[in-house]
Amino acid sequence: MKPETRYAKSGDVHIAYQVTGDGPADLVLVPGFVSHLDADWDNPVRARLLRRVASFCRLIRFDKRGTGLSDRTRIPTLEQRMDDVRAVMDAVGSEKATLFGISDGGPMSILFAATYPERTVGLALFGSYARRVRAPDHPHGMTREAWSAFVERLEREWGGPVAIEIFSPGSAADAVRRVLFADYFRQAASPGAAVEIMRMNGDIDVRAVLPAVRVPTLVLHRRDDRLVEVAQGRYLAAHVAGARFCELPGDDHTWSTPEGGERIVDELEEFVTGTRHAVEADRVLATVLFADIVGSTERAAAIGDREWRDLLEAHRAMVRRRLVEFRGREVDTAGDGFLASFDGPGRAVRCAVSLVEDARRLALDLRVGLHTGECELTEDKLAGLTLHIGARVAAQARPGEVLVSRTARDLVSGSGLRFEDRGTSVLKGVPGDWPLFAVAG
């Protein structure tokens, strides 16, 4: 469930905020470039990381004015952004908090910590900087010309996965992540707001403020960050008294990535609480759903690559809407296939039936297989024999058929769902004979 969105009044502007968790310490997440409180929860990786942060503190998040769910006013100055944070803290009754400034949220967090040390427990910065562009006495960051060209590109390509290879190189080759990336930016800001933010960020320079920061400070930066070079993080740590610098592997500027997000939360938890809880593999009972399109190669050859790509995207959009409807979680995609998990087998079966019907409206035949069993859960990944069995069940399904294992069928007894016996099958690589059942009707 998404947390309730509420609004704090900062002057005449309404600032949207959400509070998650009830830990003993407050942490205010100060977003970078653009943000959208609700859309954060639609991304499974970001949602998982936010829930983990909220497990050890009271997590306070907001959309800065001009973006997300806050009033779409003119883009604020650093001083106005600082006032917005103070207004949100007042609204939630937070007297003191650790500030977690991400990228462009870093300079404002620095200014807040220096201005309101009595309200700042600590300062954590990720992928941030003191000055955005180079200067004769600051040989770090892009040149003014390169920055202007980058901003022009954002305006020109806004709406698609613009500059994903710079913001999040680890996602650039993944079709699903590209869609999520573009969707998030579109929801978070208009192209005009995005450009205004970036132009303003190009003028940021808080170097003179750094010596005035007297709170515990942690600077996190990925070694090969393509948008904000690691030297800018090192500069921050070197000029804030007592700051600790933590250099992380990777080249993503986005903090909430499957490849490195957990490490950032590890460091953040230790900074806030003084202890770190290692993320251990857990085991959960889940129903896994495998779906793939029958005859996809032949269909693609018949209609051509471009039309096939459009058709596949339409199908994926339908699948994702059904996953939301039936509380499923997208685990992986490969080619024209989908892997999802559910915490209830009944919802999984009904979702599968809906997916088959949706595919038919696109003149596609879908085969779907389901199995319920214990899965190993590590970070945002599922693993274990249950997944192999689910994939093998799907391979046995006929076009337009939803096939389930006996375990899944038995667990929905009394639900009103009807099944037809398909006999027993040998599942490749899985020992024993497996009774399988097709959903009827």
The token duo for 52 is: 């983990």
237 with 315, same domain: the answer is: no
Is 43 a domain residue? yes
Tell me which residue of 75, 36, 63 sits closest to 200, measured CA to CA.
Answer: 75
**Could you read off the pLDDT of 310-331 as tens digits, one per residue?**
888 888 888 999 999 988 888 8
DSSP letter for 135, please: B
Strands 244-248 and 217-222: parallel
Do 128 and 204 lie in a common domain?
yes
pLDDT digits (tens, 9 = 90+) for 263-289: 999 999 999 998 765 444 456 678 899
Contact predicate 253/227, CB 8 Å? yes
Separation CA 77–CA 197 (nearest Å): 9
Asked if 248 and 287 sit in the same domain, the reply is: no
In this structure, the strands spanning 381-383 and 329-334 are unpaired
Find the CATH number of the domain harbouring 290: 3.30.70.1230
Which amino acid appears at position 140 of this protein? Answer: H
Shared domain for 81 and 220, answered yes or no, is: yes
CB atoms within 10 A of CB 185: 24
Is 248 found in the same domain as 214? yes
Phi, psi of 138 (to 5 degrees): -150, 85
What is the rounded distance in angstroms from the CA atom of residue 80 to the CA atom of residue 121? 21
Segment 303-312 mean pLDDT: 86
* Domain end residue (candidates: 217, 241, 273): 273
Residue (of 76, 102, 62, 112) closest to 197 by Cα position: 76
Does 344 fall in a domain? yes
**pLDDT at site 283:** 64
Q: What is the CATH number of the domain that holds 233?
A: 3.40.50.1820
Q: What angle do CA 88, 90, 93 make, to 5 degrees?
A: 110
Which pair of tokens denotes residue 109? 């967090």
- Of the listed ranges 109-118, 231-240, 349-358, 367-376, the one predicted with least confidence: 367-376
Alpha-carbon torsion 137, 143, 148, 150, what sign?
negative
Domain assignment present for 226 = yes
How many helices (DSSP H) and strands (DSSP E) are in the chain?
15, 16
CA distances from 314 to 320, 322, 327, 365 (A): 10, 13, 20, 14
- Give the sign of the dihedral formed by CA 390, CA 395, CA 397, CA 401: positive
Say whether both 233 and 372 belong to one domain. Answer: no
Residue 376: strand pairing partners: 283, 383
- Structure-token pair, residue 180: 């999520």
Does 304 reside within a domain? yes
Sign of CA dihedral 302, 304, 306, 307: negative
**Last residue within a domain, chosen from 273, 305, 320:** 273
Q: Give tens-digit pLDDT for 140-170.
A: 999 999 999 999 999 999 999 999 999 999 8
One domain, residues 291 and 218: no
The helix (run of H) or strand (run of E) holding residue 432 is none
Residue 1 lies in a domain: no
Let me know whether 310 and 184 are in one domain.
no
Q: Same structural domain for residues 117 and 259?
A: yes
* 3-state SS string for 37-72: HHHHHHCHHHHHHHHHHCCCCEEEEECCCCCCCCCC
Same domain, 291 and 255: no
User: 245 phi and psi, to 5 degrees?
Assistant: -100, 130
* pLDDT band of 55, cuts 50, 70, 90: very high
Q: How do residues 209-227 score in pLDDT, each as one tens digit?
A: 999 999 999 999 999 999 9
pLDDT in tens, 68-105: 999 998 887 888 888 999 999 999 999 999 999 999 99
Burial call 137-168: b when 16+ CB within 10 Å, e when fewer:
ebebbbeeeebeeebeebeeebeebbbbebbb
Whether residue 110 lies inside any domain: the answer is yes
CB 111 within 8 A of CB 41: no
Any idea of the CA torsion for 426, 429, 430, 435, to the nearest 10 degrees?
A: -20
**16 CA to centre of own chain:** 19
Q: For 104-213, list the strands marked E by DSSP.
A: 120-126
Residues 176 and 249 both lie in one domain: yes
For residues 52-57, average pLDDT: 95
Overall number of domains in the chain = 2
Question: Looking at residue 281, what is its pLDDT?
Answer: 45
Range of the domain at 418: 282-439
Question: What pLDDT score does 336 carry?
Answer: 78
* Rounded-to-integer distance, Cα 258 and Cα 264, Å: 11
Identify the bridge partners of residue 330 per DSSP, sorted by sequence position.
Answer: 340
Q: Residue 10, Cβ neighbours under 10 Å: how many?
A: 25
128 found inside a domain: yes
Q: Say yes or no: 24 and 75 in one domain.
A: yes
- Is residue 103 within 8 A of residue 128, CB to CB? The reply is yes
Tell me if the pTM is above 0.85: no
Question: What separation in angstroms does the CA of 17 have from each of 13, 65, 395, 413?
Answer: 13, 11, 46, 43
pLDDT bracket for residue 123 (50, 70, 90): very high
The pLDDT of residue 378: 63
- Domain-terminating residue out of 246, 273, 300: 273
SS3 73: coil
Beta bridge partners of 125: 101, 219
232 within some domain: yes
Which pair of structure tokens corresponds to residue 116? 């309101």
Q: Of 224, 264, 263, 271, nearest to 244 (Cα)?
A: 271
